[in-house]
Amino acid sequence: MRVRLPRLFYGHRPAAVAFQAGLLAIDIAAIGYFIATSFVDDEGMPLHRHPAREARLELRRDVEARAPAPVPAYAQAVRQELGLHHLQAGFSPL
Mean pLDDT, to the nearest integer, of 49-66?
Answer: 79
Can you tell me the distance from the alpha carbon of 25 to that of 29, in angstroms, rounded to the nearest whole number?
A: 6
Residue ranges making up the domain that contains 60: 4-39+50-82
Q: How many residues does the chain have?
A: 94
Tell me the per-residue pLDDT of 43-57, one tens digit each, with 9 for 90 and over: 555 555 667 777 888
The pLDDT of residue 31: 95
Pair 61, 81: CB distance under 8 Å: no
Write the DSSP symbol of residue 89: T
pTM confidence score? 0.42
Please check whether residue 45 lies inside any domain of the structure.
no
List Cα–Cα distances, 56 to 8, 47, 60, 61, in angstroms. Answer: 49, 14, 6, 9
74 is a domain residue = yes
For residue 2, the one-letter residue type is: R
Supply the pLDDT for residue 87. 59
User: Is residue 94 assigned to a domain?
Assistant: no
Give per-residue pLDDT as tens, 27-47: 999 999 888 877 666 555 555
The model's confidence at residue 25, banded by pLDDT at 50, 70 and 90, is very high
